[in-house]
Chain A
Amino acid sequence: MSEEDDFELEPIEILELPLDAWHRAKGARMVEFAGYHMPIQYEGIIAEHLWTRENAGLFDVSHMGQLMLTGDGAAKALEALVPGDISALNEGKMRYSLLLAEDGGVLDDMMITAVPMGLYVVVNGAVKWDDMGYLREYLPDEITINNMEDRALLALQGPKAVDALKRVVTGVDRLYFMEAGSFFWGPKTDPEPLWISRSGYTGEDGFEISVPATHARALADQLCAQPEVKAIGLGARDSLRLEAGLPLYGHDMTPDVEPVAANAAFAISKRRRTEGGFAGSDRILNALANGPARKLVGLSVEGKMPVREGAPIFAGDAQVGVITSGGFGPSVGAPVAMGYVDAGHNTIGMALEAEVRGKRVSIAVANLPFIPHHYHRKGASL
């Protein structure tokens, strides 16, 4: 037997994250991901996935880059490189955005939060060094970019995440989806400030917690001591986000595609659509007006055989697309996939075929997400 595709290409030097020993003590199987040793699973991907959908899962995502942009006009300056209305972000509010190349290609996807100091930006681990170089090159010198390497990042995700976290950190339940704030944790005599947002990458309600690396272990232990919480690995993180229809950078989004094709037109704010003035805005606004030549879509799969990244998509004899993410969806109970499909073949319900090991498999363009999102939105009835 041999693995046909590794989870990620192996970098030269593999680094350790603050919770490395903690994961190993919990019986995690470690793999190399984004240049770090990371836990792919503990008890098993399906069990961890389903636990997160029903309860709460703790994910170590400390490989991601936590950047702080400071200096007068940081929001305006960043708007040259992202399509979101960053200037309009009030303190404690966050927005999903995209780092754009000069031609409008997507260099990364990111979360940008307005904080008292400036902008707190969380970027993907695999490209964080490239992002920092690009930002440094394109942002004015008076904007400082601080890579907060002394902080770990934990994600607590699932319908019971709020019950568990509010027991550990008072007041977090006041946050709504895409809001963030500073909260004290620990003994009243010596509390530690945590930066906590209500956001995540599973489609469930949940939180992301920025904690000093020196305190990560104590916080992870305390969270896992809550009855709702289990440690969850990268394997389930991937299957959860796929069912939630959330793109994985480097797979579903690359520098070769602009945001509209990448199904991320929602990240182009209204003001920016009229004003333009961001990297690649001519190309991107043209795609918005006229429709992209191809688009990232959800794909349901007939039968039980997973259709994976790289599989070509056909309409009859003509190749009309390619799978960019695919696997088994434990909550769906069937294979699920996402991929790029050419205009004319990418409307919901369109019957297509994917080719796997020389055989054709019936697939159909499907609505995303595969599993409905359960975010704690302000103004929602629940």
Chain B
Amino acid sequence: MTRYFTEDHEWIEVDGDSATVGITHYAQSQLGDIVFAEVPAAGATLKKGCDAAVVESVKAASDVYAPVSGTVIEGNDALEGDPALVNSDPEGEGWFFKLTLSDSSELDSLMNAAAYQAFVDGL
């Protein structure tokens, strides 16, 4: 399994032709207390770079973009009851959705962990 990152602070962990998507630890730390998350429904078609989910902190709503194109397998239902999972375990239990990739070449434009760390350090 390989994990990639976007400049919009999403992570995507790829396992064959499916993948899990969430927001990074850096993203949750910038947002602060998460009070609501809206995840896409199974079967939804996502286009790379377009709105895929919404995450709301006390003070603002933010979009989560699809790091790659694909079809949603499932959204993380646990976030409905416990949106603070995005704060406590953003790169684990606080994932947003799983999808089937429609074009794995889209991964080529994403960053690996080291490149993302360097990107965050430069912010």
Contacts and interface: CB of A to CB of B under 8 A. Distances in A.
A235 B58 contact: yes
A235 B8 contact: no
B56 A306 contact: yes
Contact of A304 (B10, B36, B63): B36
Contact of B55 (A1, A44, A238, A328): A1
B54 A328 contact: no
Contacts of B59: 7, 40, 45, 235, 238-239, 327
Interface in B36-74: 36, 38, 54-65
Contacts of A327: 58-59
Nearest to B55: A1
Contact of B60 (A3, A304, A305): A3
Interface in A273-318: 304-306, 308
Question: What is the predominant secondary structure among interface residues of chain B facing chain A?
Answer: strand
A45 B32 contact: yes
B38 A305 contact: yes
Q: Which of A44, A49, A238 has the most CB of B within 10 A?
A: A44
Given A45-B33, A304-B36, A4 B58 contact: no
B61 A5 contact: yes
Interface string A4-28: 1111000000000000000000000
Contacts of A197: none
A44 B62 contact: no
Given A1-B64, A1-B65, A4-B63, A305 B58 contact: no
Contact of A1 (B35, B38, B63, B80): B63
B62 to A, nearest CB: 5
B9 interface: yes
Nearest to A359: B38
B63 A306 contact: no
A3 B32 CA distance: 12
Given A304-B35, A328-B35, A2 B58 contact: no
Interface string A343-379: 0000000000000010000000000000000000000
A41 interface: yes
Contacts of A357: 38, 54
Contacts of A235: 32, 58-59
A376 to B, nearest CB: 28
Contacts of A308: 60-61
A159 interface: no
Contacts of B9: 1
Interface in B10-40: 10, 23, 27, 31-33, 35-36, 38
Size bracket of the B interface: 20 to 34
Given A1-B10, A45-B33, A46-B33, A305 B62 contact: no
A85 to B, nearest CB: 37
Size bracket of the A interface: 20 to 34
Contacts of A104: none
Given A7-B59, A46-B58, A1 B27 contact: yes
A338 to B, nearest CB: 15
Q: Which of A1, A5, A7, A47 has the most CB of B within 10 A?
A: A1
Given A44-B33, A328-B36, A4 B55 contact: no
A19 to B, nearest CB: 21
Nearest to B84: A46
Q: Which of B31, B38, B61 has the most CB of A within 10 A?
A: B61
Contacts of A44: 32-33
Contacts of B38: 305, 357
Nearest to B56: A306
A47 B84 CA distance: 13
A330 interface: yes
Contacts of B62: 1-4
A1 B56 CA distance: 11
Nearest to B29: A29
A229 B97 CA distance: 41
A31 B117 CA distance: 23
A235 B30 CA distance: 13
Closest 10 CB pairs of A and B: A328-B35, A45-B58, A46-B33, A1-B62, A4-B61, A328-B58, A1-B8, A305-B36, A1-B9, A44-B33
19 contacts: A1-B8, A2-B63, A3-B60, A4-B60, A4-B61, A44-B33, A47-B33, A235-B32, A238-B59, A239-B58, A304-B35, A304-B80, A305-B36, A306-B35, A306-B56, A306-B61, A327-B59, A328-B35, A328-B56
